[in-house]
Amino acid sequence: MSNLTYKNIHNRFKLNGHHINIEEIFYVAYSFIKEGKLFEQHIGTFLLDWFDEKSYIEVNTSGSTGIPKVIKIEKNAMLESALATGDFFGLVPGNKVLHCLPTNYIAGKMMFVRAFILGLEMNFVDPTSNPLENICEEFDFCAMVPLQVKNSLTKLKEKKIKKLIIGGVKVHKTLEHELVKLPIEIYETYGMTETITHIAAKRIGKKAFTVLPNVKVSIDERRCLVVMAEKICSQKIITNDIVQLNSDTEFIWEGRYDNVINSGGIKLMPEKIEDKLSTLISRRYFVYGIPDDNLGEKLVLCIEGEPIELEETVFSVLKKYEKPKKIVFISNFKQTATGKIMRKESSKGIQ
């Protein structure tokens, strides 16, 4: 355990170009809450929460795998997560970082914690879908969700960000093909609110995730990932993510256990089917299982937007049993605040 405490502020920490101490942070926080835009109010609230006397903060989960809930996370565990991220990505005091994520969720909160603890010079902007739109200067590090990355490709080609991490939603194959061409370091991360954002990352274009320092992984009888990160959580975290385990520090993500479709006795992994179709359907889509008298469940392809004709050749990349039995069009998918498609809610009413 480090000798740091959550109330430490590194002497190299800067916020929007200014050195500030704890006393000044309270002034900034109250100013944001009273006079700021909504995203600034969220920042102000977090700053007050971080430096209060409680040893934990309350965090909203995204709701991507169930009902959104509020959980308590220990501040010292968040501190350890920040140190692990610094080690893994080589962040050093004085690095310039751009913060463009909502601070009412864990990923946005952790950008501040990393800056406090590691001595980073952090600038923040409104967490819009195009955060680099008005950015002229260069930054050493930034975290984004895939939609933000997609809208920032031009600026990323100009090397406005030297090292980028992407989380929140799996990176689509089409976007990945664009990202591997860029002249910067880009990583896809794996994690969840309960693991205090990412506990593993992989370079874009690679298959396997490598865990951060002080993290070990294994699998259970379902082939689902089990995370052991004692400095972050005293108990094992059992996930519903089916993985191929390469070692206790490396794994390949395959899909969600709760998404598996049993059709005529054959277990179908939606994410694998979606991956095969990724360059052939331009809109957002997902495959889903609905009840069927003969098969138990039948495979349905759900596409967002108005009906269109799909060429039969689209499905030539699929095995016979992977081909959807039905195609439905849904005007707008339901999604979480972090952009994850909510399959069950979006497909409600399909027969």
For residue 303, the model assigns a pLDDT of 95
Model confidence pLDDT, tens digit, residues 264-323: 999 999 999 999 998 899 899 999 999 998 999 999 999 999 999 898 899 999 999 999
* Coil/strand/helix, residue 229: coil
At 102, the amino acid letter reads P
For residue 22, the model assigns a pLDDT of 86
Per-chain mean pLDDT for the chain: 92
For residue 66, the model assigns a pLDDT of 56
Torsion angles phi and psi, residue 50, rounded to 5 = -65, -40
- Weakest-pLDDT range from 57-71, 79-93, 97-111, 169-183: 57-71
For residue 174, the model assigns a pLDDT of 87
| E strands in the chain | 14-15, 18-19, 56-60, 70-74, 96-99, 121-124, 139-144, 161-166, 185-192, 197-203, 209-211, 216-219, 224-228, 237-247, 250-256, 261-263, 266-268, 285-292, 296-304, 326-330
Q: Is the pLDDT higher at 82 or at 169?
A: 82
pLDDT, mean of residues 111-139: 96
Q: Is the pLDDT of residue 63 over 80?
A: no
Residue whose C-alpha is closest to residue 267's, from 222, 312, 219: 222
Rounded distance between C-alpha atoms, residue 347 and residue 334, angstroms: 9
To the nearest 10°, report the CA torsion of 82, 88, 91, 97. Answer: -70
For residue 1, the model assigns a pLDDT of 42
Q: Is the pLDDT of residue 234 over 70?
A: yes
Q: Is the pLDDT of residue 349 over 90?
A: no
For residue 67, the model assigns a pLDDT of 65
pLDDT, mean of residues 105-115: 96
At 224, the amino acid letter reads C
Burial class (CB within 10 angstroms; exposed 0-12, middle 13-18, buried 19+) of 147: middle
In this structure, how many other beta carbons lie within 10 angstroms of the beta carbon of residue 351? 8
State the DSSP string of 141-208.
EEEE-HHHHHTTHHHHHTTSEEEEEE-SSPPPHHHHHHHTTSSSEEEEEEEEGGGTEEEEEEETT-S-
